[in-house]
A = this chain, B = another copy of it.
């Protein structure tokens, strides 16, 4: 029997919301001439290199909204959309504020919230996460972000920052994520970890390996299955 976490901290992109499907749906409707699947994957692929520029100190502290925009401006050239004006670029960049939740997310979070403090721990900025939660109905107790800690995951200051924010020991916090590298970094800081299978995170054309890692505290198909396992 595992100890019960007091706090559940959730990764967002891919874990709680479907970035790939949401971007593909909106882009293929507005810009039917481009390959929306390739566009979504390329935008997301720019994300880690952009954060690496902040981690290395090449860029000062920069929010994800700004990093998404840097990547987007390059992509628009590559995909032949560089005729888009400033207002259209801003609107498109805010697609990350309008991502749809996976079908189980709202019901799963609502059950988990009944027995745990539930918060975000995302590299997304606070404004992005707030707009997303309001639109999708995600019932967070608190929105925490890399922006609060001025450091991006997998920096230990983010995982330990959640514990410190709530005066908790690291072992009282469980990171919930669909990415083994994020979970491994949290585990190295003493957090419990729950892996969520999201086999379609990158779309149906690029199924993801979702096999269990026994190092995680829990392994769940989705957030409802996590609620089952935590007795919520």
Chain A interfacial positions (CB closer than 8 Å to B): 65, 117, 119, 125-127, 129-131, 133-134, 141-144, 147-148, 165-167
B133 touches A165 (CB 8 A): no
- Looking at the complex, which one of B65, B130, B165, B166 makes contact with A142 (CB distance below 8 Å)? B130
* Min distance, Cβ A119 to any Cβ of chain B, angstroms: 8
A167 touches B126 (CB 8 A): no
B117 touches A165 (CB 8 A): no
A167 touches B65 (CB 8 A): yes
Q: Would you give 17 A-B contacts (Cβ < 8 Å), ordered by A?
A: A65-B167, A117-B130, A117-B131, A125-B165, A126-B142, A126-B144, A126-B148, A127-B167, A129-B142, A130-B141, A130-B142, A130-B166, A133-B141, A133-B142, A134-B141, A142-B143, A143-B143
* Min distance, Cβ A222 to any Cβ of chain B, angstroms: 24
Give the CA-CA distance A133 to B140 in the complex, in Å: 11
- Contacts A126-B165, A143-B143 given; 8 further ones with Cβ under 8 A? A119-B130, A126-B148, A127-B167, A130-B166, A133-B142, A134-B141, A142-B143, A147-B165
Give the CA-CA distance A165 to B130 in the complex, in Å: 10
* Min distance, Cβ A62 to any Cβ of chain B, angstroms: 13
B148 touches A134 (CB 8 A): no
* Min distance, Cβ A139 to any Cβ of chain B, angstroms: 9
Q: In the complex, which residues of chain B have a beta carbon less than 8 angstroms from the beta carbon of A147? A: 165
Q: In the complex, which residues of chain B have a beta carbon less than 8 angstroms from the beta carbon of A142? A: 126, 129-130, 133, 143
